[in-house]
Amino acid sequence: MNHTTFLVDPDIVLIGSGIMSANLAVLLKRLEPNLRIQIIEVTDTLAQESSYGWNNAGTGHAGICELSYTPNREADGSVNVSKVVEIFAQFDESKQFWASAVEEGLIDSPKEFIRPVPHMSFVHGQEQVDFLRARFEGMSQHHFFRTMEYSTDREKIGQWAPLLTAGRGSEPIAATRMEQGTDVNFGAVSRKLLEWLSKQEGCGIATGHRVVGLIKRQDRWELSARNLATGEIHNIRTKFVFVGAGGGSLTLLQKSGIPEAKGLGGFPIGGQWLVCDNPDIVRQHQAKIYGQALDAAPTMAVPHLDTRILDGKKTLLFGPFAAWTTKFLHEKGSYLDLPLSVKPDNLATLIKIGLTNLDLVRYLIQQGTQSMADRMSVLRVFYPAAEAKDWRLVDAGIRVQAIKKTDGEAGIVHYGTEVITNADRTISALLGASPGASVSVHIVLQIVKLCFPQLTETPEGKERLDRMIPSWNFDARLPGEAERVESIRTKVDMILELD
């Protein structure tokens, strides 16, 4: 559905209609119903870019299966699990926020955006088997992961995921599994939240408009949005801007001229999936299975074999594979995006990144030149009996990796998510992707706390947040909170029909 409403002088303008803007806009409106909020989106319908179901893997990242969050063993052989514990707590906040939206009748039919799918990690070779055992021992002691199972038994692993073991040789293998994993359609939940917002007093959504100008004059931001169909320019003024434009955020930050954007760069990496629709194969698999990163692959390129449920249809997806691109957006991007983002203030950083990340460059060349047979051989690490005839290659979303100057270093690549807020807290922007959508509620809550402290510090604000995100104000990771967290999760899972 397309939208055409522009408000006059709204309090807040959010650029983009993905999961970040959707969560932030709805969180703000629920915290302060009098806020006047405008969304501007370049595509004709909402959430068609990275948050769109087919453009990401839909993993509700909770640290259960992603080995990249626990990369190394310590000197004593143990595995540091603090990162996975943190991600689990943050994904819980997303689930709580969406559950409260369902409970209060803002959105309905949770099965249309979240489904239970067990999360597994899978490794082969003795060294990795030992690593997974150490990771399991570290994680299963924490109350978040107490139901995790570990096995090296082929029969057991075959019961969990028959495709993994059929036709496999005799090398040692191991897997962990937790039932409480999820598959999320981030595009569907974004659209539901924004459709609710569009019906609220003092809220406007305009699709088919690209923000082409962003400048601060006195105490107001002035934005120009071009109607892609007519070419007309619509000007709008506001006190606060959220740049939730995904791959388009860097270009807009550069236009804003804020000092915090100086030296920032972006490097796009396209994604591709192998997809299987053969019902005999799809039926056999019910899990999201993550493996080890291939040599020099960025952490976001860790291969996984995934059950996906999109628009009610179950399918199988494997990847991601990386693809060369110079576009920052899959839908409305231009091949000039990368060259035009190179500025005098980020040129040195970009060159340094190229020179110091030769492994990454080699990886990208290898990925960009690989054949279907090469991709099938990676798939067979997970599913030895896979046949090329059952799989097709589709494009996924583009991740624009944020590149920035850091102390002493000319530049480093950030695979995480980077929030940039200016000194007077009138503009906030989100760069980067991973773990992105899953922890989006946690990210936008930090933005609200920083830029709208008046909304979270009053007794009414706190009471509203308690209802929306019950664990927002205590540390759910602490052992002493296990019971409280469990009871919140039981209720959330019931509302989201995950139980």
Q: Which residues bind ligand FAD (CB under 6 A)?
A: 15-21, 40-43, 47-51, 55-59, 61, 186, 210-211, 244-246, 248, 252, 271, 320, 329, 331-332, 396-397, 399, 430, 433-438
**Residue 168 or residue 304: which is nearer to ligand FAD going by CB?**
304
Q: Residue 410 is inside which H or E element, if any?
A: strand 409-414
Least Å from the CB of residue 225 to ligand FAD: 7
Give φ, ψ of 396 to 5 degrees: -110, -165
State which residue, 183 or 404, has the beta carbon closest to ligand FAD: 183
Q: What is the DSSP string of 461-489?
A: HHHHHHHH-TTTTS-TTSGGGHHHHHHHH
User: Residue 263's closest CA among 376, 152, 345?
Assistant: 345
Cα separation of 210 and 429, whole Å?
16
Which residue's CB is nearer to ligand FAD, number 172 or number 213? 213
Closest to 332 in 3D by CA, of 431, 246, 219: 246
Q: Smallest distance from the beta carbon of 226 to ligand FAD, in angstroms?
A: 9
Q: Which two tokens stand for residue 302?
A: 């860790």
- 356 burial via Cβ count (<10 Å: 0-12, 13-18, 19+): middle
Query: Least separation, in Å, of the C-beta of 476 and ligand FAD?
Result: 19
CA angle centred on 307, ends 283 and 125, rounded to 5°: 100
Given the complex with ligand FAD, which of 16 and 470 has the nearer CB atom? 16
Residue for token digits 């969560």? 23
Shortest gap between Cβ of 166 and ligand FAD (angstroms)? 26
444 in Cβ contact with 94 (< 8 Å): no
CB of 159 to ligand FAD, least distance (A): 25
Smallest separation (angstroms) from ligand FAD to the CB of 392: 16
For ligand FAD, give the closer residue by CB, 176 or 251: 251
Q: Per-residue b/e over 169-178, b at no fewer than 16 CB within 10 Å? A: eeeebbbbbb
Distance separating alpha carbons of residues 110 and 44, to the nearest angstrom: 24
In angstroms, the Cα distances linking 350 to 167, 265, 347 are 45, 7, 5
* Residue (143 or 332) nearer to ligand FAD, CB: 332
Q: For the CB of residue 200, give the shortest distance to ligand FAD in the complex, in Å.
A: 20
Give the residue with the Cβ less far from ligand FAD, 29 or 168.
Answer: 29
Question: Which residue, 10 or 246, has its beta carbon nearer to ligand FAD?
Answer: 246
Shortest distance, CB of residue 272 to ligand FAD, whole angstroms? 8
